[in-house]
Structure 1
Amino acid sequence: MATNKNAFVRYKILDSCFRNFGKRYFIENLMEECNKALIDPSSNGISRRQIFDDILFMQSSQGWSIPLLKYREGKKVYYRYEDSTFSINNIPLNHLEIDQLKLAFNIVSQFKGMPQFDWVYELTSKLQQGVLLKDISPIMEFESNQYLQGIEHLGLLYNSIYHQRVLSIEYKSFTDISSKNIIIHPYYLKQFNNRWFLFGLNPENGKSDWNMALDRIINIKEIEDKYIINEEIDWSEYFEDIIGVTKNTNCEIEEIKLHFFGITGNYVVSKPLHGSQKAKWINNELLEVKLKLITNFELESLILSYGERVKVISPSHLVTAIYLRLKLANVAYSP
C-alpha cells in the first residue's frame, strides 16, 4: 500500500465519512469526497479500485483494523463504522505511522545544537524507552556544527523575533578592543558558512538591516521598550543580490565575469555560485560565468577559494582586489 501524501489524506477523509452517521456514504460518495481533497490536480482522480484498496488496508492489521460495516440498500452498499465514536485518530500508532515517525525523527535529529529542537531530544528519550525508536539509525546528515560558539543564543533570539521583544546585546566584534551594548529590534536570523547572524533595527543609526554574528555575542538582555515592526525589508528578497550576509549599501549590482579552468567548470555548472549565474563553455577547458551581484567580502572569499582555477575578468575593481589579496598571500609564503 502506498504511503504517500495522497494516501494519508484519503485515509483521513474515509475515516471522517465512516464515522458520520448523519449521511450514507456509498462508494461513489467516498470517491467524490476524496477527489475534493486531491493533492495532485493533474491526476485522473481516485478510482473505485483505489477506494476498495484503501478500505482493505484500513481494515488490515497493518492499517488500523477499523470496525467497518456494510449496509445494503437495494443493489448498492454504503459504509459506516460499527461505533460512531471510533476514529483512526484515537487508536495507538500502527506500523505505517511508526515508520513515518522514525523517518521524521531521523531527519529532525540532525539539527543538533539548535535550541528550538530541544523538544525532539526530550521526546526521543521517552520513545526510546518503548519500542518505537529502538532500531532507528542515521541514514542522512545535514551540515551543522553543534559546537558553534554563540549557538546557545539561537533559541532566545528566535523567540524574541517571534514575540517582538527589544533586546540589549553585549557585543564584541573581532576588531573591537572591548565589548559594547547595542539596542536592537530583532527581525531575522540567517545562517551562512556555518555561522548564524542576527539582523534587526539599530535605533542608534536607524539601519533596519544591522547585523551581528551570534558567535560574537557575549550577553543578551530583554528591555522594556516599544518594538518597532519591520516595514522596510522583505527578507525573502534581501539576500538575492549578494553572496553571504554583507550588503554594502553604497554599492550597486554589477555584472561579475569569471573564467574557470578545467574540471572546475563542471563543478560550477552543477553547483551554481549564485541564482543569477549564466555560464557558457568557451572551449573544453574554459567556462565563462556571469553573475549579477553586489560585490562584498564573501564574494571575494568565494573566488579565492578556487585558487588558481579561476580568473576574474571584470569588473576592474574586483580584479584589483583579488590581485592584491593573492599578492599578499604570495608574500606570506615567500622565504
Structure 2
Amino acid sequence: MANSKHAHLRYNILDNCFRKRTYNFEQLLNVLNSQIELHYPNESISTRTLREDLKVFRDKKNGFGAPLPDKARVLKYSDSNFSIAQRPLLEYEQYLIDAGRQLLERFENHPKYEKLAEALIKFQDEEDQQENDAIQILYYDHNEEYKGIRFLKPLYLAIKKKQVLQVTFQGFNDTISNTFEFHPHILKQYNRRWFVYGFNKTKGIKEWSVPLDDRLIDFKVKEKHDYVTSNTSWEAFFRTMVGVVRVKGALVEKVVLRFHNGRESYFKTKPFQPDYEEFFEEEKQNQVWFETIINKELVQQILSYGRDVEVLEPENLKVQLTEHSNVMQHYYNK
C-alpha cells in the first residue's frame, strides 16, 4: 500500500497529469511536489512514494487499473478518456468516507449538516449500486447533459486565491468567441446550472455573470494582475431577483400574483421568491406579493403555473404574460 499521507491529493494530481500530457518520472515527481507544496508548505514525497503510487494506479485488483503502460519511458494514459473518478473507491478511501460520515453525525441536528447528509446519502447509494448491483433507492433531479461542473472547483479555487482570469466565451448565437479580463467573486447555482459572478474589467461591469456550460470555452490565470475585490452585497443582489439575469439599470417592482385551484399552497411550500408576503384580507388569501426586478426567469417561473396563476401587478408584467399567452394560443389554433 502506498504512503497514505495526502494520498487522495496525490492521486488526483497524477490523474490530471496522465490525462493531459506525457511526463518522464523526474518531471512527474517535480510537478507532484510543486502541487503538494501549494496545499502543504514545506512538504514533499520521495521517489519511493511515487513508485508506490504508480503501482496503485496500475493494479487491476486493489488499485485503479489505469491504462498506464508498464516499463514505459514516458507516463501517460493510453486511453485519454480514462479517469480514476470512474473507478470504485479504494479500501482506504472508503474508510475515509465512512469515518467522515460518522464524524458528521455529531452535527445531525444542526442545519449545516443537512446538505452534507444529502450528499453523502447520494454518494453511498451510487457506490452500493456500482459495487453490489443493489437496487437504486434514490432518484433525484440531475442534469445528465450538464458538463459545466468541471469548471466549478477551478473557479472556486480562483475566487479563494483572488486570481484574475482571462476568460474565453462564445454565446449560442455568436459566430466567434470573445476574450475578456474577469475577476471572479461568487458562484451561484440556479436551475441545476452554475454561474460565476464577478468584475468584467474589459467591459467595466462589476456584476457580470458567466454560465458554466458549453459557452465557457476556457479560462486561464493572468499572473501579476491586481485582483479587484467586490463591494457588492450579493445577498441583497439576489434577494431582489429570480434566477441569474439582471439587466443593467433594472428597477425593483412590486409583483402581485393571484393563484387559482388552490395552487397558492404549492407556491408557499416552494416559492421562487423567498421574500414573499401574504395578504391579511380574507378575500386575498389566494394572493401573494413580493418585490423583484422583472426578468425572463421570473416570467418563466410564473408560466410554469399555467392557468393556475394570474398577474395582478405590475402592468408591464401583465403585458408580457398576455403576449406569451397570445403566442401560445396562436400555436394551438392553427
How high is the TM-score relative to the length of structure 2? 0.58
The gaps in structure 1 that reach 5 residues or longer are 1-92, 113-119, 126-132
SS in 2 for 1:239: helix
Q: Which of 100, 103, 109 is the matching residue for 2:102? A: 100
Q: In 1, Cα distance between the equivalents of 2:101 and 2:182?
A: 44
Equivalent residue number for residue 197 of structure 1? 195
Give the equivalent residue in structure 2 for 1:162. 160
Structure 2 CA distance, aligned partners of 1:101 and 1:143?
A: 27
Deviation track 1:282-324 (CA, whole Å, cap 9, x = no partner) reads: 7789711111111111101111111111111111111001111
Q: Secondary structure at the match of 2:286?
A: strand
Instruction: Give secondary structure in 2 for the equivalent of 1:226.
Output: coil
User: How many aligned positions are there?
Assistant: 227
**1:177 Cα offset (Å):** 2.2
Query: How big is the shift at 1:229?
Result: 3.0
Q: Is 1:217 the equivalent of 2:216? A: yes
Moved more, 271-280 or 184-193: 271-280
Query: Is residue 2:256 matched to residue 1:254?
Result: no
In terms of fraction of residues, the more helix-rich structure is 2
Gaps of 5+ in 2: 1-94, 106-112
Q: Deviations over 1:113-142 (max 9, x none)?
A: xxxxxxx9xxx98xxxxxxx99x9987676
RMSD across aligned positions (CA): 3.7
Compute the displacement of 1:203 (Å). 0.8
Q: CA deviation at 1:185?
A: 0.9
**8 A Cα contact 2:101 2:120, kept in partner:** no
Residue type matched to 2:219 in 1? Answer: I
The structure that has the greater radius of gyration is 1
Pick aligned residue for 1:149 from 147, 157, 175: 147
8 Å CA contact 1:190–1:196 kept in 2: the answer is: yes
Structure 2: distance between partners of 1:167 and 1:279: 44
For residues 296 and 280 of structure 2, the distance between their equivalents in structure 1, rounded to whole angstroms, comes to 27
Distance 1:250 1:97 in 2: 50
Distance change (3 Å), C-alpha of 1:191 and 1:97: closer
Amino acid at match of 2:278: A
> Are 2:278 and 2:285, in contact at CA under 8 Å, matched by a contact in 1?
no
Kindly, what percent of the aligned residue pairs are identical? 26
Partner SS for 1:100: helix
TM-score by length of 1: 0.58
Q: Structure 2 counterpart of 1:272, which letter?
A: P
Q: Deviations over 1:237-295 (max 9, x none)?
A: 32011111112332221110111001212211232332221124877897111111111
The C-alpha deviation readout for 1:203-229, integer Å capped at 9, x for no partner, is 122112100111121122222242323
Shift of 1:171: 0.9
Question: Residue 239 of structure 2: SS of its match in structure 1?
Answer: coil
Query: Take 2:185 and 2:138, find their aligned partners in 1: how far apart are those partners?
Result: 31
User: Which structure has the highest strand share of the two?
Assistant: 1
